[in-house]
Homo-oligomer: A and B are copies of this chain.
């Protein structure tokens, strides 16, 4: 689909884009956004110049630290909310990461929390006063959910005049409010959601704030960029092929792609909703492993299975967490390492990160092993099956949403939306069987290894360069197998260490192409992250390991 020649969608998109900017208070506007050559990295010191020391202190504290202060009364919910509203406003201006802001509602909610605290002498819940950002699939009263579609502006999921527009709230929103969270903004997504970069005709492109040559990832790219800038201490994204893990990884954040059925997706907007071979899942991203755990535990404490029929009745299992810590302490942990999926070679910084992590685990006395599933369940094989599920409907669902306004899709998004025949019931059943067979064989392989978890990159690159997200197999196999996966930031690209491998021998044209995308000059300073993949429903274990590795990495960086 090309441009329609009609300017309507452009005008609507521009108006919405202006409205988002316009929702930022004058006092928080920036006069000038530096070019990437002037200022590649707009996080940390750069953004801090626009904040008061107290605002910086608050916003650079992780979610666990914030609730320690807000639940003890050391910080007021209002001052915390205001600091994050300010920093989120700056963040959006720097990298286009927001779809909606509702700062007045947030400040009013924060005030109510303060009143509650004053009245009851205790916090409302485990997230009392914690600002939480949400991907623009969550419905929050008072604002749009556009999911990046021009045709969804001022509608309910594209339906004009639907009474749920700006009134309905997703189940998890209800839970977050009850837990004491302060909601204040919704973050950018690529239209269709089916993309590892974040781009749409409303906010355009969401840049990686640590290195604005690069993508912030997708589809939860607005979350990734915002949290990297500390415009949020943590938030929720979704993942059907890597959409939590790519942004976590590209932005140097912790993130969790839970098993399907662990956290409540109920009442959220989605693409191809009702496709149930591989389900999209919702999960947290945060600046610390503890932050990810806090958000996960808090939602589970709300007993989401009572309100979302797809959630399994599995509360947070402190015993699994404790057993994992015991295994680590007693050097019993077994960690697999999968450095290459057989199809595409990870860029040099990722290879260095894998070695670094492997060394840390070995030195701790715990065990490492090579993770090499049989060819029949190689990660590319599983990824190919997953990709089939995304085009069951031949693009009908997303084309319908583009057609609402006549807007074209961005050439950088996964271009699988040209009309093609629908899959029929027999072929869908065959894909389901093939996926189940993979999951069974993978389980048998896992049992043979005795491993607790395994480690692998989230992509062959530390972050995608715009328009060059050419391979998603490093994340999407996890969705096909339905495993929990936690992203852990390991290091940053150092152009003096992470040289281009000129002796590299590609196994395919795509392998050659992707490796050639590595340019130490362009990538310098970018975060380098890995994912820790566990058995289905063992979120407690992968997060306990992520917390341990976070601490070990901190120790290692202090001694190096």
Contact = CB atoms under 8 A, between A and B. Distances in A.
Contacts of A313: 314, 535-538
A307 B448 CA distance: 11
* Copies of this protein in the complex: 2
A376 to B, nearest CB: 14
A2 interface: no
A440 B276 contact: no
B440 A309 contact: yes
Contact of A306 (B274, B443, B481): B443
A396 B426 contact: yes
A312 interface: yes
| Chief secondary structure at chain A's binding surface | loop
Contacts of A273: 429, 433
A496 interface: no
Interface string A502-546: 000000000000000000000000000000000111100000000
B275 A277 contact: no
A428 B426 contact: no
Interface residues of A, number: 46
23 contacts: A266-B440, A273-B433, A274-B430, A274-B432, A274-B433, A274-B436, A275-B429, A276-B432, A306-B443, A307-B444, A307-B447, A309-B440, A309-B442, A309-B481, A309-B482, A313-B314, A313-B535, A313-B536, A392-B425, A397-B429, A422-B425, A424-B424, A425-B428
Given A305-B536, A536-B309, A538-B313, A274 B428 contact: yes
A436 B277 contact: no
A287 to B, nearest CB: 29
A424 B314 CA distance: 34
A410 interface: no
Contacts of A387: none
Contacts of A425: 275, 392-394, 396, 422-424, 428
A154 interface: no
A308 interface: yes
Interface string A372-415: 00000000000000000000111011000000000000000000
Contacts of A442: 309
Interface string A239-262: 000000000000000000000010
A195 to B, nearest CB: 20
A326 B426 CA distance: 48
Interface string A297-321: 0000000011111101110000000
Contacts of A436: 274, 309-310
Contacts of A392: 425, 428-429
Given A274-B428, A305-B537, A392-B429, 13 more contacts: A274-B431, A274-B436, A275-B429, A276-B429, A306-B447, A307-B447, A309-B436, A309-B481, A393-B429, A396-B425, A396-B426, A422-B424, A424-B424
